[in-house]
Amino acid sequence: MNPGAYCRICVISLVIVQTFSMLGTSLLKAQRWNQFRGPSGSGISHARSLPTQWSDKENIIWKTPIHDRGWSSPIIASEKVWLTTASESGHQLYVMSVSLKTGAVIQDTLLFNVTDPQYAHKFNSYASPTPVADEKNVYITFGSPGTACL
């Protein structure tokens, strides 16, 4: 497999997030998706009538291109989709948020400049960490490069 093809994972992750957009505001407030694999960590949603098939035109509300590379699972907090990205070299580590309703980029923040990144396997990314959120903040840890609270 071509490691460059994995850059599309960020876009694919955001396409999957469209599922949550289709649930409606009241259900989104009732069931938060604030951490890896959802509120209980099980990856199970109690929402009903979710789409089971996607294509470029079917069951897609919006698409947003994401820069660099990222493997993090998107989370939802405060009507925003949060995810991490990183330069391929691992020298720049970012957090991004996009509007849950429109996909518009709300925040794109360089969190850490890393002088000497640790080794990352060619099929992985320096942006593997998934953010986590509570009622007030979003937290991101990149391990030894640092942890941030937004």
Element (H, E) at 77: strand 75-77
Q: What domains are defined for the chain?
A: 3-149 (2.40.128)
Question: Which tens digits make up the pLDDT trace of 9-68?
Answer: 444 444 444 444 444 443 444 357 876 667 777 777 777 787 888 888 898 889 999 999
For residues 142 and 117, give the distance between their C-alpha atoms in angstroms, rounded to a whole number. 11
Contacts 24+ apart (CB under 8 A), 108-111: 108/67, 109/150, 111/140, 111/142, 111/146, 111/148
Confidence (pLDDT) at 87: 94
pLDDT tens by residue, 98-126: 999 999 999 999 999 999 998 888 888 88
Nearest-angstrom CA–CA distance, 21 and 100: 6
pLDDT tens-place string over residues 78-105: 899 999 999 999 999 999 999 999 999 9
How far does Cα 72 stand from its chain's mean position? 5
pLDDT-derived band at 150 (thresholds 50, 70, 90) equals very high
d(CA 103, CA 115): 32
Strand pairing report for 92-99 and 105-113: antiparallel
pTM, full prediction: 0.76
